[in-house]
């Protein structure tokens, strides 16, 4: 089997390394839009900017031509889009324009499209209608609790592939389920993708709480009530609330909200320390998807008539309308209610 990954950030690189650990030399290809980045990776054998300290396997092929990266794949191979959410629509459109036969396509990004509040699979659907010129591609979202650095270092990890196509789930398992990685299958795209988007916003909230020294009780309250918000929105959007109890919901929420490797949690910690958001994002050097999708999650919730107080407060903090302290006061000042 051949695998091509598009996007050589932290996660694309780590997943390329994971696939290359057991596939044949030359079967895994990592594409980057930046020739300068590829030249450095080639020279030092490491993606030092995005995934420092992880030696890339000799057999991992680096590619600067998008056409070559796509055209090497047959109908039984796998294409992985590893860009942030902001690059998904443009990248999938390019792929569909180049494709000469049906492809198996999965994406790794977590978030919503800010201007439309569409989930990743809905963005892909839209692009498919515009650019697939009659080819029937198979699509899916691969998500779950996974810090790139740990996967790059070969540490144990479990993920979920969500797709309507069982054949695609098998292909994804064939590419990544080996060694220290397990891949579970699901058909709940809405539940899997909304969990991945919302947990990033909640990780910012948990980071703010920890940065303000609000204590472990507060952290448990944010995670539990945040999970309730996630389940409500998933249900209203047509997904299965029980998906939120799995890897891509509570699993990823625990990881991201409590693990200091999380970029989203680190944004929250820095906001609590009073740093301005542009400075925080400038220093991060990576994407923090929760910052970009908090207001889209809030807008979707409003449209579907779902109450999401923690998410809404995060959106107000991130847009500069409220300070973290003011948001806390508002949350704690809410009227008592039944726990649902
Ligand atoms: N880093 C992690 O541990 C994990 C990240 N993810 C998700 O994967 C996605 C990517 O995250 P990271 O790799 O960590 O981000 P990153 O910030 O480390 O790297 C992003 C990469 O994407 C490239 N890129 C951005 N826009 C692009 C476009 N339009 N076309 C081509 N390349 C483009 C950038 O040049 C950069 O190389 C995010 O949605 C993130 O939430 C999911 C699981 C784990
Ligand atoms: O999605 C992730 C872990 O599953 C990575 O989280 P951050 O983007 O917050 O680092």
One domain for residues 17 and 122: yes
Of the residues 2, 129, 164, 199, which is catalytic? 199
pLDDT, position 293: 97
Q: Which residues pair with 141 in a beta bridge?
A: 107, 162
How far, in Å, from the CA of 9 to the mean position of ligand 1? 5
- Does residue 340 form part of some domain? no
One domain for residues 51 and 129: yes
One domain for residues 137 and 183: yes
Between helix 309-318 and helix 289-303 the angle, nearest 10°, is 130
The interface predicted TM-score of the complex, written ipTM, equals: 0.99
- Does residue 192 form part of some domain? no
For the chain, how many structural domains are there in total? 2
> Last residue of some domain: 138, 169, 187?
187
> Last residue of some domain: 142, 169, 187?
187
> Last residue of some domain: 156, 187, 218?
187
One domain for residues 262 and 314: yes
Quick one: which of 63, 93, 52 has its CA closest to 2? 63
One domain for residues 146 and 204: no
142-167 tens-digit pLDDT: 999 999 999 999 999 999 999 999 99
The CA-atom distances, in angstroms, between 34 and each of 9, 41, 62, 164 are 11, 11, 11, 33
pLDDT, position 50: 97
One domain for residues 260 and 305: yes
Q: Tell me if 289 CB under 6 Å of ligand 1.
A: yes
- Does residue 144 form part of some domain? yes
Distance CA 186, CA 33 (A): 31
One domain for residues 173 and 279: no
Between helix 120-131 and helix 85-98 the angle, nearest 10°, is 30
10 Å CB burial of residue 55 (0-12, 13-18, 19+) is exposed
What CATH number does the domain containing 59 carry? 3.40.50.720
What CATH number does the domain containing 225 carry? 1.10.1040.10
Q: Tell me if 145 CB under 6 Å of ligand 2.
A: yes
- Does residue 339 form part of some domain? no
Q: Tell me if 253 CB under 6 Å of ligand 2.
A: no
Share of the chain above pLDDT 70, in %: 100
One domain for residues 10 and 83: yes
- Does residue 338 form part of some domain? no
Dmax over Cα atoms in the chain, in whole Å? 61
One domain for residues 8 and 148: yes
How far, in Å, from the CA of 264 to the mean position of ligand 2? 7
180-214 tens-digit pLDDT: 999 999 999 999 999 999 999 999 999 999 999 99
Q: Tell me if 147 CB under 6 Å of ligand 2.
A: yes
Q: Which atom of ligand 2 lies at the shortest distance from residue 203's CA?
A: 9
pLDDT, position 224: 98
6: helix, strand or coil: strand
Is 199 one of the catalytic residues? yes
One domain for residues 144 and 210: no
- Does residue 236 form part of some domain? yes
Quick one: which of 221, 309, 224, 326 has its CA closest to 272? 326
- Does residue 214 form part of some domain? yes
One domain for residues 77 and 162: yes
pLDDT, position 195: 98
Contacts of 172 (CB under 8 A, 6+ apart): 78, 104, 106, 140, 142, 161, 163, 183
Query: What are the structure tokens assigned to 262, written together?
Result: 């999380």
* Strands (E) located in the chain: 3-6, 28-31, 61-63, 78-81, 104-107, 138-143, 157-162, 181-186
pLDDT by residue for the chain (340 residues), tens only, comes to: 999 999 999 999 999 999 999 999 999 999 999 999 999 999 999 999 999 999 999 999 999 999 999 999 999 999 999 999 999 999 999 999 999 999 999 999 999 999 999 999 999 999 999 999 999 999 999 999 999 999 999 999 999 999 999 999 999 999 999 999 999 999 999 999 999 999 999 999 999 999 999 999 999 999 999 999 999 999 999 999 999 999 999 999 999 999 999 999 999 999 999 999 999 999 999 999 999 999 999 999 999 999 999 999 999 999 999 999 999 999 999 999 999 9
12 is in an annotated binding site: yes
DSSP 260: T
Q: Which residues pair with 184 in a beta bridge?
A: 160
One domain for residues 210 and 257: yes
Q: Which residues form the domain of 215?
A: 197-333
- Does residue 13 form part of some domain? yes
Which mutation among 11, 18, 107, 110 tests ligand 2's pocket best, with the greatest number of atoms within 8 A of CB? 110
pTM of structure: 0.98
Count other Cβ atoms within 10 Å, centred on residue 220. 12
């Amino acid at each position: 089997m051949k695998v091509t990954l598009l996007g050589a950030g932290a996660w694309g690189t780590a997943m390329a390394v994971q696939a290359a650990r057991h596939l044949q030399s030359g079967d895994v290809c990592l594409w980057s839009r930046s020739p300068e980045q590829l030249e450095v990776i080639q020279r030092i054998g490491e993606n030092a900017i995005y995934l420092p300290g992880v030696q890339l396997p000799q057999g991992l092929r680096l590619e600067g031509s998008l056409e070559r990266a796509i055209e090497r794949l047959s109908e039984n191979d796998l294409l992985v889009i590893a860009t942030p959410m902001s690059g998904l629509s443009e990248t999938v459109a390019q792929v569909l324009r180049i494709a000469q036969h049906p492809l198996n396509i999965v994406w790794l990004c977590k978030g919503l499209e800010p201007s439309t509040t569409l989930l990743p699979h809905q963005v892909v659907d839209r692009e498919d209608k515009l650019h697939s010129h009659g080819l029937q591609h198979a699509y899916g979202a691969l998500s779950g609790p996974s810090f790139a650095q740990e996967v790059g270092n070969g540490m144990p990890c479990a993920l979920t592939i969500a797709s309507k196509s069982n054949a695609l789930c098998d292909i994804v398992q064939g590419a990544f389920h080996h060694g220290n990685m397990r891949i579970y299958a699901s058909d709940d795209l809405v539940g899997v993708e909304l969990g991945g988007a919302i947990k990033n916003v909640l990780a910012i909230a948990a980071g703010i709480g920890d940065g303000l020294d609000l204590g472990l009780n507060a952290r448990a309250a944010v995670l539990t009530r945040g999970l309730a918000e996630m389940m409500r929105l998933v249900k209203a959007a047509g997904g299965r609330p029980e998906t939120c109890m799995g890897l891509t919901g509570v699993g990823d929420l625990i990881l991201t909200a409590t693990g200091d490797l999380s970029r989203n949690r680190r944004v929250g910690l820095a906001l609590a320390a009073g740093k301005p958001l542009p400075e925080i994002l400038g220093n991060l050097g990576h994407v923090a998807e929760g910052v970009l999708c908090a207001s889209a999650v809030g807008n979707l919730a409003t449209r579907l008539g779902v109450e999401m107080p923690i998410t809404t407060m995060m959106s107000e903090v991130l847009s500069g309308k409220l300070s973290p302290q003011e948001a806390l006061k508002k949350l704690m000042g809410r009227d008592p209610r039944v726990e649902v």
